[in-house]
Structure 1
C-alpha cells in the first residue's frame, strides 16, 4: 500500500461477508440508472413491435403502457439520485474538480458521476417515450 487511503475499509469483514449491492463505496449505483434506461428502451420497442405485429396498426394503447413503464423507471432513477446525493455527497456541478486521493474523494466522485448518469438516463427515457406520442400508427 502506497497511501493511507489505499487501505481496505474496515466494513469488509471475514470471508463470506457480502456488503449490500448499493452500499457505500459500491460502483453498482453508477451502473443502475443506465441499466434502467436500457431495460426501458428494449421493453418499449418490444411492446410496440408485438402490438403492431399482433393486434393492429394503432399505437394508442401501447403508448400508455410505455408511459407507465417510464414513470416507474424515472421514479427508480430519482431514488438512485437521492442515494447518490445522500450517501455519496454527489452534487450537480459540471466543472467540479475532485482531486482528493482518499476514501471521501472516491465517494464524492462516485456520487457526482452517479448523479450525472441519473440525469442523463432520465432524459434518455423521456426521449424514448416521445416517439410513441408523436406517431399514431405503426
Structure 2
C-alpha cells in the first residue's frame, strides 16, 4: 500500500520516469559490450588465423585482442561504477527494495545493472583468455 508520503507530484513523477528510463538502458550496456567483444574477438581471430595468417601472426593477434579487451573492460567498469552509485548501498545499507516507491525501484535497477556488469566483466575476461594462454591459432 502506498500512503500520501509515497506519492509524487507530477513534475517529480516525470523526473523519476526519466531517471528510470536511463536506468533501463544501463541494464543492457555491459552485456552488450560483452557480446560485441565476443563477436569481434572471434571474427578477428578467424580472419587472422584463416584468411590472413601471415599478416599479423599470433603475437599481433594477441595485442589486438588485448587492446579490444582493455576497451571493453573499461566500458564495463564505467557502467559498473555508475550503477554502483545508483544502487547507493553504502550510503544507507538498504539492500531490500520491497516497497513500490521510486527510490526503491531506482536503487533496484542500479543493483541489477551492477550485477550484470560483474558477470559481463568475468565473461569478457574468459573470452580473451584462450588467445593469451594458447599462443597458437
Q: How does the TM-score come out when normalised to structure 1?
A: 0.78
Match of 1:48 among 45, 49, 55: 45
Ranges of 4+ aligned residues in structure 1 off by more than 3 Å: 2-8
| Corresponding residue SS for 2:14 | coil
Gaps of 5+ in 1: 13-18
Q: How does the TM-score come out when normalised to structure 2?
A: 0.78
Aligned to 1:126: 125
Q: CA–CA distance in 2 between the matches of 1:64 and 1:5? A: 54
Aligned to 2:25: 28
Say if 2:5 is the partner of 1:10.
no
Question: How many pairs are equivalent?
Answer: 124
Aligned to 2:71: 72
Gaps of 5+ in 2: none
Does structure 1 conserve the Cα–Cα contact (< 8 Å) formed by 2:87 and 2:106?
Answer: yes
Q: CA–CA distance in 1 between the matches of 2:87 and 2:96? A: 16
Q: CA–CA distance in 1 between the matches of 2:72 and 2:9? A: 37
Alpha-carbon distance, 1:122 to partner: 0.6
